[in-house]
């Protein structure tokens, strides 16, 4: 290992907890209930980005004009609807992803700082953190309340790096979404991708992830090598 | 246009109708109801492949051994559960994808043979074909009843080509799943990808799709050029 402390920043939704598809269906259902149609793949590829930005883009896709006087109210309704439908489904359907707890414990055992770098709202975080039950291995947490605009904006990753107390180049961001990789790159951190959010390896690589693992179980098995290759000057690639 | 009749074979689920995520959630729910856990992304990437093969692979992922005496009954339960949950949700949630009707009509206007090359069971096909309401523009149809094993096996695409009455190299298969592109390539047809099933363009290209469009609306706008580039000797690429 190189000089200096190393931190691993974990996204939660789609990375540690199998919640991406529940979010997709909840957003879609909120739009349906308002009589608006958005293709589900268009929702899926936006999960993990800032919620306000996601709603703006989906309202535009659904044909709601920027100048429509009902638009601000519709945006609030979509956010509220998603939150309500997601929480109702989450109680029943959320599962911890393979290797999620193991990779966090392994990171601590290897002496890395562990941050849960989510931009989900507090009430959603309570659900996923409660399910994960790994708080004793976690050094810091971020949430949607820490920033005005979440990923792909870099601010949330920068805050996670600050809370970890490491230099950006010693921070590794593990995430399932292209937005994680884009935000991590902007913040000067090293993005690692996992396939558990349903985004292809090639798409994660295109977004900047230099290493892509099937899931956190695979990453846990190779964590020490992965960290070494990412924090050496040359970076790494699979 | 080149010599000889040209056919366009359309996959339905995820290509013409926005049903992939409904299938994903229905399969997942069937496994949950049996007390089995499978990550949702592992379900998603298998939608569009043969149903029997999908169940086999997901049972293995859920930790059910090949030698388990309950396995054949579990496989039947999963198929029945998926079908029941899918149909209940489909009535409410299925939507025609952008440009689906337009691309089929445009194909007929340009003089191409149109085949709906689905491997869905008849009862699911009735739902999606009823919703599409394009039967007057369709020359032939396939279903899961036509084959023992569906995509990525090539048999279903071969049957669709036979029913179209064209040579394989004059058949263009439009699909959202890697399985469509793989099956079409094996059958000697030309695969075209669309993003509406939630599979990335790079993954569709890796599976053999030489042209990838956002959706059928984009394909409809460029259909004549796309067909020309695909059926010329050199093939085509975007």
B44 contacts on A by Cβ (under 8 Å): 21, 198
Using CB atoms within 10 Å of the CB of residue A214, give its burial: 0 to 12 exposed, 13 to 18 middle, 19+ buried. middle
Cβ atoms within 10 Å of B233's Cβ, excluding its own: 6
B117 phi, psi to nearest 5 deg: -105, 70
Question: Of all residues in chain B, what percent carry a pLDDT higher than 90?
Answer: 88
Is 60 exceeded by the pLDDT of residue A234? Answer: no
A196 contacts on B by Cβ (under 8 Å): 39, 41
Q: What is the DSSP letter of A49?
A: B
B95 contacts on A by Cβ (under 8 Å): 37, 39
Our CA-based measurement puts residue A112 at a distance from the nearest CA of chain B, in whole angstroms, of: 27
A7 phi, psi to nearest 5 deg: -120, 145
In this prediction, does ipTM exceed 0.90?
yes
CA distance from start to end of chain B: 19
For chain B, say whether A168 makes contact (Cβ under 8 Å). Answer: no
In A, minimum Cα distance to B45 occurs at A198
Residue B233 confidence (pLDDT): 55
The b-or-e profile of A78-99 (16+ CB within 10 A means b, else e) is bbebbbebbeebbeebbbbbbb
Q: Give the B window 84-143 contacts with A, CB below 8 Å.
A: 93, 95, 97-98
Our CA-based measurement puts residue B2 at a distance from the nearest CA of chain A, in whole angstroms, of: 35
For chain B, say whether A46 makes contact (Cβ under 8 Å). Answer: no
B202 contacts on A by Cβ (under 8 Å): 200, 202-203, 206
B200 contacts on A by Cβ (under 8 Å): 199-200, 202-203
Q: Which tokens in the block code for residue A95? A: 């599962």
The reply to whether residue A202 touches residue B203, judged by beta carbons under 8 angstroms, is: yes
In B, minimum Cα distance to A178 occurs at B200
- Largest alpha-carbon pair distance within chain A? 57
Residue B1 confidence (pLDDT): 36
User: Residue A204: which pLDDT band, with cuts at 50, 70 and 90?
Assistant: very high
- For residue B20, give the nearest of B187, B179, B192, B143 by alpha carbon: B179
Q: What are the residues whose beta carbons fall under 8 Å from the beta carbon of B136, sequence distance 6 or more? A: none
For chain B, say whether A63 makes contact (Cβ under 8 Å). Answer: no
The reply to whether residue B41 touches residue A206, judged by beta carbons under 8 angstroms, is: no
Residue B53 confidence (pLDDT): 93
Q: Are B108 and B220 in contact (CB under 8 A)?
A: no
pTM (2 decimals)? 0.94
Mean pLDDT of chain A: 94
Residue B90 CA to chain centroid, in angstroms? 17
Q: Are A143 and A119 in contact (CB under 8 A)?
A: yes
**Mean predicted confidence (pLDDT) in B151-163:** 93
Interatomic CA distance for residues A29 and B111, integer angstroms: 39
């Amino acid at each position: 290992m190189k000089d200096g402390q190393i931190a691993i920043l974990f996204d939660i939704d789609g990375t540690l907890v199998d919640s991406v598809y529940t979010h997709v269906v909840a957003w879609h259902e909120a739009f349906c209930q308002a009589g608006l149609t958005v293709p589900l793949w268009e929702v899926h590829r936006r999960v993990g980005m800032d919620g306000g930005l996601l709603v703006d883009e989906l309202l535009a896709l659904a044909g709601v004009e920027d100048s429509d006087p009902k638009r601000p109210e519709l945006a609030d309704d979509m956010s509220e609807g998603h939150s309500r439908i997601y929480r109702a489904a989450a109680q029943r359907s959320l599962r911890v992803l393979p290797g999620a707890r193991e990779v966090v414990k392994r990171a601590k055992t290897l002496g890395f700082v562990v941050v849960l770098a989510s931009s989900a709202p507090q009430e959603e975080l309570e659900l996923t953190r409660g399910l994960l039950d790994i708080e004793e291995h976690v050094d810091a947490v971020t949430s949607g309340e820490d920033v005005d605009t979440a990923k792909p904006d870099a601010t949330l990753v920068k805050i996670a790096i600050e809370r970890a107390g490491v230099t950006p180049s010693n921070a590794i961001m593990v995430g399932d979404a292209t937005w994680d990789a884009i935000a991590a790159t902007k913040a000067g951190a090293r993005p690692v991708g996992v396939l558990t959010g349903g985004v292809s390896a090639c798409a994660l690589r295109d977004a900047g992830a230099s290493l892509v693992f099937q899931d956190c179980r695979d990453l846990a098995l190779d964590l020490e090598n992965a960290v070494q290759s990412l924090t050496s000057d040359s970076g790494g690639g699979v």
